[in-house]
Amino acid sequence: MKLLNKVAVITGGGRGIGKAIALEFAREGAHIIVNYKKSRDEAYKVVEEANKLGVSALAVYADVSKYKDVLNMAKTVLNKYDKVDILVNNAGVLINKKLLETSVREWTKVVNVNLNGVFYTIKVFGKIMASNGGGSIINIASVAGYIPLMNGGAYSASKAAVIMLTKQAALELASEGIRVNAICPGPIKTDMLLSEYTERELRIRERYMPLMRIGDPIDVAKLAVFLASDDSKYITGEAYGIDGGFAISTYLLLNKLLKRD
């Protein structure tokens, strides 16, 4: 087991990519803290599943965009565990609107959750990790952090900032024994993606992906295990794309458009 007896906090761990990461960590022997905001029941189900895998687990409410909530979450975690080894900043929101149609309120919401939330948890859990000799922080950014979405400018900008925050934190926290890396998923089958596309559109998208499929949450979870474990102990400040080739698909799309294939 790659994460035996590690203590891992996963924000937004009740569903989607966060749930897959939480359960894959549990399979690798980690005790997991499943943060949730709205999905309380789902978070408790993840706890039950983790217990069945033989590890301890805790569901904790926090809106990561509120610094006080993050502080309270850390208190709850430290009541049960005397350390934190791994932090996964997975919580995120997407508002699919063109910039000119995005309200200031919507912009602020996306930045508050996707960027400020990551800073708050790094600040709070980074100190805890430093006091127990180090660990690994993994920020779930997006390919949208380097390829602008058609709509959703606030999302793209927030994810680009998360990639730089990752590098900044990696540089500053290296001396504390903390590695910080980002994962940049392309399309992954979760509520976030499925709410944006019809079944038919998804099938078409799959045909235009170099690897001919939309990713599953477990694809991201496997990479998260690598970055959380000692297998990656010489890696910090990196941002890993995991996108079925989406970021390199420009000429594939062009060829399909020109019917050259």
Q: Look at residues 220, 222, 224 and name the one whose alpha carbon lies nearest to residue 242.
A: 220
Q: Which is nearer to ligand NAP, 73 or 129 (by Cβ)?
A: 73
- Residue 154's contacts (CB-CB under 8 Å, 6 or more residues apart) are 95, 99, 102, 106, 107, 110, 111
Encode 110-147: b = buried (16+ Cβ within 10 Å), e = exposed: bbbbbbbbbbbbbebbbebbeeeeebbbbbbbbbbbeb
Least gap, CB of 252 to ligand NAP (angstroms): 19
Burial of 98 by CB count in 10 Å (0-12 exposed, 13-18 middle, 19+ buried)?
exposed
The question of whether 251 is a catalytic residue gets the answer: no
Q: Which is nearer to ligand NAP, 28 or 63 (by Cβ)?
A: 63
Q: Look at residues 1, 3, 58, 70 and name the one whose alpha carbon lies nearest to residue 33.
A: 58
Q: Which is nearer to ligand NAP, 68 or 177 (by Cβ)?
A: 68
Least gap, CB of 133 to ligand NAP (angstroms): 27
Q: Which is nearer to ligand NAP, 123 or 132 (by Cβ)?
A: 123
Least gap, CB of 201 to ligand NAP (angstroms): 14
Q: Which is nearer to ligand NAP, 5 or 69 (by Cβ)?
A: 69
Q: Which is nearer to ligand NAP, 193 or 239 (by Cβ)?
A: 193
Least gap, CB of 31 to ligand NAP (angstroms): 19
Given the rule CB under 6 A, which residues bind ligand NAP?
11-12, 14-18, 35-39, 63-65, 90-93, 113, 140, 142, 185, 187-188, 190-193
Among residues 36, 120, 155, 240, the one annotated as catalytic is: 155
Inter-residue contact 157 to 216 (CB < 8 Å): no
Least gap, CB of 240 to ligand NAP (angstroms): 12
Least gap, CB of 211 to ligand NAP (angstroms): 14
DSSP string, 20-87: HHHHHHHHTT-EEEEEESS-HHHHHHHHHHHHHTT--EEEEE--TT-HHHHHHHHHHHHHH-S---EE
- Residue 209's contacts (CB-CB under 8 Å, 6 or more residues apart) are 186, 187, 244, 245, 246, 249
Strand partners, 129: none
- The residues annotated as belonging to the active site are 155
